[in-house]
Every structure is written in C-alpha cells, then in structure tokens.
Structure 1
Amino acid sequence: MVAGVDGRAESLAAAGWAAREAVCKGRPLLLVHVWSRSPFSLVSVAANTAQRSEAERVLNAAADRIAGTCPGLRIETAQVEGPAVTALSRLADGSELLALGRRTKRGMAGLPGGSVARGVISRVKRPVALVRAGEGQERSAEVPRSRDVVLGIDLGHPCVEVIDFAFEEARLRRCGLHVVHVWGDPRPTEGEAQRIGPVEGGCREEERVGLLTAVLKVRRDEYPDVPVIESVRRGNKSSSLPRVADGAGLLVVGHRLGKQSHLGPHGSPTISAVMQHARCPVVVVPYS
C-alpha cells in the first residue's frame, strides 16, 4: 500500500484510510512525499535542502499519527523527486493500491485535487483510492464495517478486476455490496454504441436486470457471506452514482485504460463527477 502525503488534511485522510486497508490485508504501508528540484542554480542548494527538510517533517508527522492508531503496522517513508504524476504513477504500478487525498472544490490544483489525480488515474494499472478530508480519521486500525460498498458497473464492459475488487472489499469490511448499473446517458458515443451488451427495445431495462444478475452470479457464489443488492437505474451515471453512494463506506468504479473522451485522455465524465461529488472514499480500478 502506498499513500501520497503533502501535509494537507486530504492527504492525511488518505494515509489513514490506506493504513487501515494495510492492516486489514496484512500489508506494509509506504508514505511518499513528492517534491520538485529547483531549476535555478543560484538558489537550488538552499531550496532543495529546505524541501527535503519539509518532506521529512511531513512524513514523520504522518507516520507518527498513523502509528498511534495502527500499532504494529509496518510504516516506511520515502521522499521522491517529481514531476508528481510521473513519480506517483511509477510507485502505484509497483504497489497493490495508491491512496491520494481528494479535494472537492472545483478548479483547485495540487495533490491531488484535479490534474495530478487525473493524470495518475490515466496512467496506472493498479487501483487508486481518492479520500476526502475527514475520512480515515477513526481512532482504530479497523476498517469501518457498518456502511456498504457501492459498485458502479458498466454492463458494456463488466470487467472482472473491478467486480473482484468490490466483492473483496465488502468481504473484508463484513458489509453488504450494492451493485448499481446506470443506463440511459444521453448521446452515447460511437464506441459505446458498438459495445456488446443489452439490445435496444421495449424490454431494455428487464434485459439489463437479467444481464446484471448473470454477470454477478459467479462472484456471488464465491462470496456467499457478502449480501448483494442489485440495482438497474435509468439516468446519468455522472449524477446518479454519487447520489447512490451517499452514506456508503466506499464507492468502486472502473476506468478503461486509454479511453478517450471529449474532455481528453483522462477526462471521463463519470470519474470527474465522483471525484467532485461523492461523499465517501472512491477507488478507481483500471481495466483494459
């Protein structure tokens, strides 16, 4: 498990969330601070020294905080030179999961309010957790058990990795899993229209209900202790998923690697919406 920390409340929340995940899964936790070397030779030595000193302070403070709530967890720290997207992407691909803080105010940059988080998600082949300030602050190493995991599923691409991740999280948390398929987004793209999935027609919603049940059957048999609720809703995914996940413990969504949209290579409207509006931690699971 890896968590990016920069001293802000969002990153500390992400580190706390990742720590509980690490305890639950029996993994160590690596706390990482990314900084950029000064390009100006006259001030580079002093500036770089100051950045290293600040990075050490931030990392030590985060490690001490986590050690107090997760005794016994093996915590490592590392300073890494930027650019942030490149450094974090490299670390993420070598880990089980990367956790980053998530700002919810539109237009704010930084770690990882918008551009950094989106850039990392667009590159990595491992799950990325996005955590708001206020989450991950429990005074216990236990992962919260009372709130369900919500999985947003695309029946056009029902990826095994995404489904497996959600079922396993629900099992670890000893909670229910609410699987939601939202359909009916206006103006589907040409690529979406060519997907293999439910046929159009008068029984379209009923067919989607049946397809969702069929897609989940194998995993439901493998996870008999995970209560599952299946929902098919007509609407817009970008607005529906954050509403469905309101009050949940975790929202899991998939991200198709290399997918292009009118917002750019990492500008999925659904991912953007859940980053902005979901009130619970979000895990973006990549698939091909």
Structure 2
Amino acid sequence: MKNHVTVGVDGSPASRAAARWAAQEAVLRQVPLRLVHAVDRPLDPLLPGLGRPGVDRWADQVLTEAAQELHGRHPHLEITSRCPTARPAAALAAEVADAGLLVLGSRGLGGLAGFIVGSVAMSTVAATDTPVVLVRVADDRNGPGTGPGPGPGIVVGVDIHEACDPVLAFAFEEADRRGCPLRAVHGWKMPSAYSYVPFFDPDNERDICRSVTHMVDDVLLPWRRKFPDVNVGHHVVMGSAGEHLVRASQGAALVVVGRRVRRSPLGAHLGSVAHAVLHHAAAPVAVIAHG
C-alpha cells in the first residue's frame, strides 16, 4: 500500500475534519486511505472506568464510524483501519513509514489566538520525514476537491538561503493535481549592518528587493519548467516570512512550509516560520521535512 494517505482519528471534531480532508486527498491522488487510532493503554483513563475491553470497543467504534462516514462520501475509495497499541505520536510515525502523506487535526481558539496544535501533532511532525498536513476543524469545506477549475490556490514559503526541493516538489505536485494556481512567498530582512546607518537611502531597499526577487525567480525556474501547466506567481516582501504566509493563507486551499531536519538529543526543531504558520494560518498547513 505504498503512497497511501494516513489520517489519525480519535473521534473528535478536529479528527473528523482531518479524515474528510484526507479522504478527498486520497481520491485526488487515486490511492487508498488508512485510518489510524492509537491506544495508549498505560495512559488511557481519558475514558475512566472503561477498562481495557471498553477502550478497545471505543477504539473500534471510532474507526468504524469514521470509515462509514467516508465510504458514504467516497463509495469507491479503498479504506483500511489500524489500531496500534503505543503512544500516539510514535504509533503514527511508524504507520506512515510507507505512506505518502499523514493528515492530523487541530482545533481553533478563535480570533487572533489562532489554533491549538496538540502535543501529539507536534511530536508526530517532529518524529517523521513523511509530509504532514494539519487540518482545522472547518477546513474540510475547503478540501482538495476533484472538480475542474482553478479553485483556491496553494501558498508555499520559499527559502533562498538553503535547498528546499522537497518543499517545492510537494507544492508544485499539489497545484498540478488540483489544477490551481501556486503562489510563492518569501520574506526578507535588511542586513543588520543597516541598523547602524544614520541616513538610509531607500534606493538600497529597492535594489535589495530586486536582487532577492531575481533569486526567488532562479529557485522557481526549474519547477516552472517541470510543471508548465501550473500558474505560478510570487510575492517577495520585506519582513517576517511567517507573518506574510499567515496573511497569504486567507482563502488558500493549502499552505506549504518546510521543516529542516535536525537530529539532536534535545529533539527536533520546527523553526519559527513553520511554528507561526502552524498556529495561525487560516488554511490547512503541510509541513515538509528537508535536509
């Protein structure tokens, strides 16, 4: 079942939204869907008084109800279920070793507070090199879709300072599948030395912006050639890349960001841009590991 789509389900509204989004994505990719519910028995009096048989029955019910709903929406989609006994983050990371995508849910806080990305989701993102999409409770209404027409576009964060081919490959492939436009966003900052210049020439800012724009064009050029049918635009702005990606997420179908893989005894580090986008973007967010 190579390159199937996996989704974590736990019966919550966030996981149901994630399952609906994942099913649409699986249909779009023409691959099977795997539902995973991890049972962490030693730590599971989330359901007090149920006991082991009760927890098992509840897990089976969660998987059965999710599968029935998705079969109703997508009768021809192949759906399988797994219920491993392990800590959820570890179980999900193990389950996606042969998957093309993992989908998880998160819930909104409302207003400017953003979204809750739980410890399981954050730990899973850090524990796997498989692309992970975080879906908000209401994001399934803006799911991938399979109909014709451009639909909502995809936004991707571009870093000109390090190779990010896996990030761009994922973003271009998604835009190509959906037949939707792709918008690349890059945020840049003035060199720190300019903070010591008493009289700053605005022409310097314009020159730097032009130079950065050329570099972004160079990064995108091979991907434009590889995906000639994808309508690509770019937005090069001075300031925080995370803030600009969050703004660009309004009305987008998906935001794609990179996560640099760092092996450390202290654990993985998401980076400030990915962290900001995960917690504040209005659209589903795909986090792509790269070297």
What's the TM-score once normalised by structure 1's chain length? 0.84
State the number of aligned residues.
266
**Structure 1 residues 230 and 102: alpha-carbon distance in aligned structure 2, compared to 1, 3 A threshold:** same
2:220 to 208, 216, 220: 216
Q: What's the CA shift for 1:39?
A: 6.8
Instruction: Report the Cα distance in structure 1 between the residues aligned to 2:144 and 2:187, rounded to whole angstroms.
Output: 35
Q: What is the SS of the residue equivalent to 1:258?
A: coil
Unaligned runs of 5+ in 2: 111-115, 193-203
Instruction: Report the Cα distance in structure 1 between the residues aligned to 2:61 and 2:221, rounded to whole angstroms.
Output: 49
Instruction: Report the Cα distance in structure 1 between the residues aligned to 2:9 and 2:152, rounded to whole angstroms.
Output: 26
Identity of aligned residues (%): 35
Counting only pairs closer than 5 Å after superposition, residues 105-116 of structure 1 correspond to structure 2 as: 105=109, 113-116=117-120
Q: What's the CA shift for 1:114?
A: 2.4
Q: Deviations over 1:59-82 (max 9, x none)?
A: 111111111111200000111112
Aligned to 2:178: 173
Q: Does 1:183 align with 2:224?
A: no
Q: What is the SS of the residue equivalent to 1:27?
A: coil
**Structure 1 residues 215 and 141: alpha-carbon distance in aligned structure 2, compared to 1, 3 A threshold:** closer
After TM superposition, which residue ranges in structure 1, 4 or more long, deviate above 4 angstroms? Answer: 137-141
Q: What's the CA shift for 1:265?
A: 3.3
**Structure 1 residues 185 and 28: alpha-carbon distance in aligned structure 2, compared to 1, 3 A threshold:** farther
**Structure 1 residues 227 and 141: alpha-carbon distance in aligned structure 2, compared to 1, 3 A threshold:** closer
What amino acid is the match of 2:160?
Answer: L
Aligned to 1:194: none
1:142 to 132, 146, 149: 146
Q: Deviations over 1:135-179 (max 9, x none)?
A: 225799637951000001111123111101100100111110001
Aligned to 1:191: none
What amino acid is the match of 2:32?
Answer: P
What amino acid is the match of 1:51?
Answer: V
Aligned to 1:126: 130
**Structure 1 residues 132 and 201: alpha-carbon distance in aligned structure 2, compared to 1, 3 A threshold:** closer
Q: Is the 1:70–1:141 contact (alpha carbons within 8 Å) kept by the matching residues of 2?
A: no
Aligned to 2:200: none
1:229 to 229, 233, 236: 233
Instruction: Report the Cα distance in structure 2 between the residues aligned to 1:208 and 1:278, rounded to whole angstroms.
Output: 24
Q: Is the 1:24–1:143 contact (alpha carbons within 8 Å) kept by the matching residues of 2?
A: no
**Structure 1 residues 18 and 57: alpha-carbon distance in aligned structure 2, compared to 1, 3 A threshold:** same
Instruction: Report the Cα distance in structure 2 between the residues aligned to 1:203 and 1:186, rounded to whole angstroms.
Output: 13
What amino acid is the match of 1:182?
Answer: G
Q: What is the SS of the residue equivalent to 1:97?
A: strand
What amino acid is the match of 2:167?
Answer: V
Q: What's the CA shift for 1:24?
A: 1.1
Q: Does 1:154 align with 2:126?
A: no
Instruction: Report the Cα distance in structure 1 between the residues aligned to 2:69 and 2:143, rounded to whole angstroms.
Output: 10
1:255 to 256, 259, 272: 259
